[in-house]
Structures are given as structure tokens and as C-alpha cells.
Structure 1
Amino acid sequence: MKVEKLVEIIGAEFYTGVPDSQLKALCNYLMNTYGIDKNHHIIAANEGNCAALAAGYHLATGKIPVVYMQNSGEGNIINPVASLLNDKVYAIPMIFIVGWRGEPGIHDEPQHIYQGKVTIKLLEDMDIESFIIGENTDNEDVREAMESFRSVLAKGKQVAFVIRKGGLSYDGIVNYENENSMFREEIIQHIVKVSGEDPIISTTGKASRELFETRVANNQSHKYDFLTVGSMGHSSSIALGVAINKPETRVWCVDGDGAMLMHMGSMAVIGANAPKNLIHIVINNSAHETVGGMPTVASKIDIIAIAKACGYPYAVCVDNFEKLDVEMKAAKERHELSLIEVKCSIGARNNLGRPTTTALENKQNFMEYLGFF
């Protein structure tokens, strides 16, 4: 289905969401049509943030907003849907567009399998009526579904269009880029070299894939790394849990700007606990690159000031490899909680692979290396 037709059928004036590769057609259409425009389109930090923002839009305008997300974000909207939007509370109507990763019968990565299985059930449990759009869904069927949804929305309820792989298409092209010169994979190669045999917890997406392939290229074991292949935004909290319980072990967290923003409160918890053995690296390309390259707000905020305000004793920003190496070596010797923001370009190898070990194997090997078994 052409994304332009879906937008026309829905007839909404305001969209907010967290980008998803399954919804790349919609994301690119919105970027080409509106860009980032507070009156029409905002990319928020996480899906719950989107739902609340959309609720505010409805309260101020009386109009029905659209929230888009990957199905992994359903967990983040449960609280606002159940305790804010629900028709037994404030009865705020909303249209969700959900990318269906891990659909049963469709091959996908392990972090999507269970989420894909329960995608529709979670919507049903939240009393959200849904309609599934696939590659061959007829426009008139979508139009009829939307007409049916209007009576549901009029009651202060929420509805959802669930998008299968290939369900939406768009002929427009959007080029996402920035002015930074450092490539993420090279940054990770430098981190691996300096960290030595220290454990690394890496964030969701291409960063973990590049860390895995760096180990392969170096003929190194994967036991040093915990790859946070799902659970976006939580790698720094995992790293905090490891660092607190292994105080004699230096722990590195390789984070991304989108992930950091998604659950930024974790930085306050890290700063308050201030483990002396944790080095938090935020690779900042100001983009949700793994799912297409749509922008985050990381180019408009001061991550170093935020880290220091959260209690990090040391925080610095670097934009070249010489400074990066100097700061990482200093952090390794400092024995103090440190954050290094690394300005990064947008882009990755076209032939970038995926981990060939299972998630359970990754966990087992990592825990054995930490000395649990």
C-alpha cells in the first residue's frame, strides 16, 4: 500500500513516533513532507513519550493524533494507554501505527520473536482495536477499516493499524547525513583496542553488530561482550548492574544517542550511584540510524552538561580519533565514573552482518567470563 494513500485515508494533521525500519516508508514520507515540525511531526524519545505528547495535542486541539512505533514499543505505551488514554480515565482517542517485527511465520531476529507473537494480543489486552495492513491489502479495505474506527475513536478509545513487512511503500528518497567524520565501526574498533579484556555492554542495533564483527576480525572471543540486541535504552542500566556487582572489574558501556534519550533517567541513577569502574561511551550521530537514519534531538542538547548534572564526576566530548584514544586511556586509569560522548557520522557497511551466536549463548559466555559459573 502506498503510504500517501494511508495518510490520506487517516486524515490526521499531527504525527509523533519513534522510527522503525518496518515503517521506513511512513517515516521518510513524514520527513519529506514536514521534516521535524512541532505542528505536524515530532520524533519523541520513547513511545510512552509519544502517547503523552499526542494526548496533549488532543487536549489542546480536539483533533485525533497518530503515534507510530515498532511493536517493541508497545511495552512503553501500556502505562499511558491504561492510566491516561483509556475511556474509563480521560477517554483520549488516538491512532497507533505499529510495525510488526517478528510476525509468526516470518523470519526475524531473536529479540523480535516473542514480541511479534504477542503484538496483537497486547493491543487486544489494552482494548485497542486493530487492522492489519500487508503488501496486498486493498486501499478500500483500509478505507472501510478507518470508517469503522471513527465510531471507536468517537468513544474516546484508541485504534491501531498494524503493518506487516512490505505493507507500506514510498517512492520518495530522504538522505540522512551530518557533518561528523568519525565512522561508528572504527570508533568501536578503537574501544575494543583500549578496553582490552574488560567486559563491554553494547546498545541495540548496528553498534552491537559492529562489535561482534570487530571481534571476528580480530580473532577474539565474544565472551567479553553482552550485546543488548533488544530492550533499547537499557544497556547503560545493565552496565550499572554489572559494575556495582563486579567492583574490581572495569566495565564499558557502548551506548547510542537514541538509546540514551529513550530512557535518559538511567543517567541520573548511574550518576547517583557513581560506580568508579564504569566507563559510559555515547556514540552520537544524532540519528536513529539502525532503523533508517531519522533524526534524534541529540544534536540540540548538551550531553556533557546533562551527565555532569546527573552526577558523573567526569564527562567529555570528542570529535576525532586522537582525542578519543587519549580520553579512553585516561578513563581507564582514572578509576572514576566517566562519560565520553563521541561525535559520529551516519552510515554503515552495506554488508554488515548479524551475530552468529544465539542470545542465550551470548549470556552464558558473558556470565562465565565474569566468573558467575
Structure 2
Amino acid sequence: MSTSTVPRLAARSVVDLLHDRGFGPFTGVPCSFLGPVITCLEAEHPQDYVIAANEGEAVALAAGARLAGRHPVVILQNSGLGNTVNPLTSLCHTLRLPILLLVTWRGRPGSPDEPQHELMGRITPDMLTAMDIRNELLPDDPEVFAERLDEAAAHMAATGLPFAFIVPKGAIAPYSKPAVPAAEPAPPLMRRAEAIGEVVRVMDPRTLLVATTGKTARELECDWDRPENLYVVGSMGCASSVALGVAMHTDDRPVAVLDGDGAALMRLEALTTIGREAGTDLCHILLDNESYESTGGQPTASAGVDFCAVATAVGYRAVSDVSDARSLREAVLRAQRDGGAQLIRVRIAAGSDPNLGRPALRPPQSAARFMEAITQ
């Protein structure tokens, strides 16, 4: 079977072949490798695609769909494969609920990628096999893919176990969205880089600042690098918990975290722990552009989530919902003055510098430098 990374499969062909064989609904968390498929689903079959907050939730949703007689498909980046281990092994395997997985292969050996993808890239096929999930590379020919889908369906019917296609970079060609009428222009919002700048300029210079993975960390390093910054790469959704752990065990230093809407939704339970430790000084700044920007701008579910109400309900001392630079500056100053756990939701526009570079500092260096800065 070919392992070519030259785009061969059209996104619509993938979706149509799956639908023709009775597969659906679709759910999952985006990856740019499968971005064209997700965009096609959103444009042409919106009723058949459910945005999940994390990959484990997607597997559980798919399990429910299978119980209801459907043949669901879960779309995920292999970085999130760890989030699926429990529901795949203790739910799908136990109840014999077969679901089809489309798992991207970031960090594939021999293919340059980011440091956070290296280990998972090396173990992805073996990890699936260890969970009794038969897996193979996504074919690059539609006719072969159709044959392999039939084999996957037969395997799942015979065993009651999931089946996975591993999707390498470039396996699926870009998808062009149908033209839609332009919406009324919304009031201008800050972009993330601008919001980060407003935060750094007014916060206490001694603040230990943790940045979530993706473009948030990259923009912070590019424009405002300092030893007191920790750039969390990978482990999406964990930055706020990392920051809380720092704050609980660091005396007399303000701590803040730059979070994202997709990341916060992926680990929404983190808010409950922060709220329970509301006496700990942590300024939780949630930059919300309603999109998974690093994977191609697919929408998150944040537009329908009142993060401030959630934070209030779980015990945060105070919350702010802002959308302009002045209000953001005032909220940061107020949070650091008053102390305790405080959430600042910042509504921002999508988009970033297309020339934004990758982090110059290796993750172990970032962590070591941050640990040294704490002791200063």
C-alpha cells in the first residue's frame, strides 16, 4: 500500500465513500491533516458532524451512536489518542461497540514535526494494536479506500472491535468551501497577539506566566519572551492546571495563565479544581476566538458557553468578560490587586501573523529556565 504524502484523496470522496457504506455520524477534535474532511462535513453535512471538546468525549458519543444503531466515525489527531484510551478500552472493548477511527499521524518517524509529536508519532500504530484495534494506513486511491472500508466494516461486524485508519500528512487534498453570503461586519476585536501584549504590559513584572499550546505560546515567545514564561507545548487543555500547580507551591509570586477556548473546553474540569482552590492567586486569562486556529480555524463550541458563569458556579472569586484593550488592562490589574482565582474571558478575533515562526526555545530549556526564574 502506498505511503505517499502527495494529496490523492479528495475530502468529498472520503466523506461520500463513508456515507455510501453507511458510516456516520462523525465527531471528534480537529487536526489539520483531516481539516478538509471536517470542513466538507461542516459545509455539506452539518447535521452529521458533532464538535467534541476532547477525544475521549468523542469516543463516548460514538459509542452512544453505535448503541442507537448507527456506524459512527471518530476523527482525531494522534496527539489526542491518549485521551481515548479509557473509553476505547473500558467502554468500547467491554461492551463490544465497534467504531471507525480516523487517526492522523503527526510525528511519523522520518517526517519532521514538532517536539510534542515525537513520542506519540513513534508509538501510534503500536498503541492502537495494544488496544486490540486493527489499524492500517489510509489508502491514497479512492477505489482501494472503498475496498478497505468494506474490510473494516466486516472486521468490526465480526469482532465488535474498533478499526482505525492512520492518516499521514498530505493524504487528503484541500477542500474549497462553497461561497456563502457575507455576514454583517461585527465590531472589530483584538487579535490574540494584541491581547497578549496588553496583558504583559500591565501585569506585575514578577508574574510567572504559563501559555497554552499552539499559537498562544508561539506569539508570547515571539513578542514577549522572558525567563518567567513557560511555553506549554502539546498537552492541550493542561496549561491552567499546570499554572494552578505552580501557584499553589510558589510563595509571593503572582501567577497567570494564557488559555484558549478550545483548550479550556478540552479540560473543562480544570475550572472546578481552580475554583476549589479559590484562595490561590491565579489570573486565568481565556483568549476566546471561537476556533481551533492552529489546525485550520475549525469552530469550537465556545460561542454557546458562558465561561464566566461556569467559573462563578465552581467558586472562582471573580470573573470578567471583556472584548477591548482598555477593559482587558483594567481586568488584569484588578485581578492581580485583589488576588485569588480570577477568570478573564477575552473575546478576540481569529487570525495571526502568517509568518509566525516556531518556538526557538526547546521545551526542556523552557522548563529549566522557568524553574530557575521561580527561585530568583
Matched, 1:210 2:210: no
In the alignment, the residues of structure 2 paired with residue 352 and residue 125 of structure 1 have an alpha-carbon distance, to the nearest angstrom, of 38
**C-alpha separation between the residues in 2 aligned to 1:28 and 1:174?**
10
Q: Which amino acid aligns with 2:34?
A: L
1:224-277, Cα deviation, whole Å (9 max, x unpaired): 111111000000000010000003110010000110000101100110011432
Q: 1:171 is paired with a residue of what secondary structure?
A: coil
**CA distance in 1 between partners of 2:95 and 2:189 (Å):** 48
Corresponding residue for 1:110?
A: 115
Structure 1 SS opposite 2:38: helix
Gaps of 5+ in 1: 216-220
Matched, 1:340 2:344: yes
1:127-174 residue CA offsets vs partner (Å, 9 max, x unmatched): 11112126xx22222222212112211031101111111001133137
- The answer on 1:272 being equivalent to 2:276 is yes
Query: Which position in structure 2 is the counterpart of 1:138?
Result: 141
CA contact (8 A) 2:28 2:75 kept: yes
Q: Amino acid of the residue matched to residue 209 of structure 1?
A: R
In 2, Cα distance between the equivalents of 1:175 and 1:8?
20
TM-score, length basis structure 2: 0.92
The reply on whether 1:54 has 2:62 as its aligned counterpart is yes
SS state of the match for residue 255, structure 1? strand
For 2:358 and 2:229, the matched residues in 1 are separated by: 14
Identity %: 36
Aligned mates of 1:277, 1:249 — CA distance in 2: 9
The answer to whether residue 367 in structure 2 is matched with residue 363 in structure 1 is yes
Is 1:19 matched up with 2:19? Answer: no
Alpha-carbon distance between aligned partners in 2 of 1:277 and 1:266, rounded to the nearest angstrom:
15
Note if contact 1:132-1:162 (Cα within 8 Å) is conserved in structure 2: yes
Say which is worse superposed, 275-284 or 42-51, in terms of deviation. Answer: 275-284
Aligned to 2:124: 119
- Which residue is 2:83 aligned to? 76
Distance in 2, matches of 1:275 and 1:185, equals: 30
Opposite residue 150 of structure 1, the aligned amino acid is A
Q: Which amino acid aligns with 2:123?
A: V
1:1-373 matched pairs, under 5 angstroms: 1-11=9-19, 12-35=23-46, 37=47, 40-60=48-68, 62-86=69-93, 89-133=94-138, 137-154=140-157, 155-173=159-177, 179=186, 181-195=189-203, 196-215=205-224, 221-371=225-375
Secondary structure of 1:357's partner?
coil
Q: Distance in 1 between matches of 2:242 and 2:104?
A: 26
Extract unaligned runs of 5+ from structure 2.
1-8
Distance change >3 Å, CA 247–CA 239, structure 1 → 2: same
CA shift for structure 1 position 57: 1.1
**What are the superposed Cα offsets for residues 16-43 of structure 1, whole Å, 9 maximum, x if unpaired?**
01011111111111111123x3xx1101
Kept after mapping to 1: 8 A contact 2:106/2:113: yes
> What do residues 176-227 of structure 1 show as CA deviations (whole Å, max 9, x unaligned)?
9994511100001111112223111111111000000112xxxxx5311111
Letter in 2 for 1:343: R
- CA distance in structure 1 between the partners assigned to 2:12 and 2:179 by the alignment: 19
How many residues of Structure 1 are paired with residues of Structure 2 in the alignment? 359
Q: Name the aligned partner's letter for residue 83 of structure 2.
A: N
Letter matched to residue 69 of structure 1? L
Q: State whether residues 20 and 99 of structure 1, in contact with CA within 8 Å, keep that contact through their aligned partners in structure 2.
A: yes
The letter for the 2-side match of 1:355 is P
Distance in 1 (CA, whole Å) between partners of 2:349 and 2:256 is 21
Q: How far apart, in 2, do the equivalents of 1:282 and 1:314 lie?
A: 14
Q: Does the residue aligned with 1:342 lie in a helix, a strand or coil?
A: strand
Match of 2:95, SS state, is: coil
Contact 1:240 1:275 in 2 (8 A): no
Is 1:239–1:251's contact at 8 Å kept on the other side of the alignment?
A: yes
